[in-house]
Structure 1
């Protein structure tokens, strides 16, 4: 029981630590125009009103947003696929495409009995993702650009997943959110290590 409590405390601390970084991150590295930066930062900070929802309405909005968020990651990976040279980055790119495509399929299935995709929430998230994908297509160093871009991307996923752990009652949503936090916090750590080794 103590180990579970410690894990939850650690994951919560990681998520809280990521929140200010997300709010203050320099979007210029992604080539995001100022207007898009403001829109995305605002959307991530208040999560488009997601925190004010509950029950099935929350699950529907959350899954709809997470589908768009995952699709953003897949698009980022595809933007550099075939151009990255580092073996570790190649593995990360392949894993993002494989794992997040599978989770998109799962979430799409779960949404059907909830009324289908909440298009407003999905489109709001998708709009925020565009500024993170476009610059990767022409990045001079796609390896570094991808890893740097995935850090704020993962940070926003941690925010959403942490909220879901607090508000959802659906076992599938809870497990998905726990898995996202565990996997993506670990990936952020390894991304930082990889970047540090490059000086």
Structure 2
């Protein structure tokens, strides 16, 4: 993570949804927290798809997305914890981990 020096303007624009801006001091935390939100959004959409669809292909894809995004969030959380960060917000999507 020490190699993360500069993000492209496109990445920064995509992450602006967090309501904060990256600085040299917070860039790693800012990125990882933004990615938790991003993967959490995918979890929410996959659960909506499972709830609203009867199409077997959609249901299978939604299940696969839930499994993959759950792993991503757990991995992101571990990275933040290795940097000494652990907030309750990092766990807000855990209720969506179940299939």
TM range (shorter): 0.5 to 0.7
Alignment of 1:37-116 (within 5 A): 43-44=16-17, 48-50=20-22, 53-54=23-24, 57-116=26-85
Report the Cα offset of residue 42 of structure 1: 9.3
Larger helix fraction of residues:
1
Q: Higher relative CO (CA 8 A, sep ≥ 6), structure 1 or 2?
A: 1
| Conserved 8 A contact 1:60-1:111 | yes
Residue 178 (structure 1) aligns with:
none
Gaps of 5+ in 1: 1-15, 24-40, 127-199
Largest Rg, 1 or 2 = 1
- How far does residue 116 in structure 1 lie from its aligned partner after superposition? 1.2
Q: Supply the distance in 1 between the matched residues of 2:39 and 2:67 (Cα, whole angstroms).
A: 11
CA 1:118–1:82: 2 relative to 1, 3 Å = closer
TM-score w.r.t. length of structure 2: 0.60
1:109–1:42 Cα change, 3 Å:
closer
Q: Any unmatched runs of 5+ in structure 2?
A: 1-9, 93-99
TM-score by length of 1: 0.33
Distance 1:48-1:99 versus aligned 2 partners, 3 A rule:
same
Number of residue pairs matched? 82
Deviations for 1:12-67, whole angstroms, at most 9, x for unmatched residues?
xxxx6xx9xxx9xxxxxxxxxxxxxxxxx9934x97313xx236x31111111111
Deviations 1:129-163 (A, max 9, x none): xxxxxxxxxxxxxxxxxxxxxxxxxxxxxxxxxxx
The CA RMSD over aligned residues, in Å, is 3.5
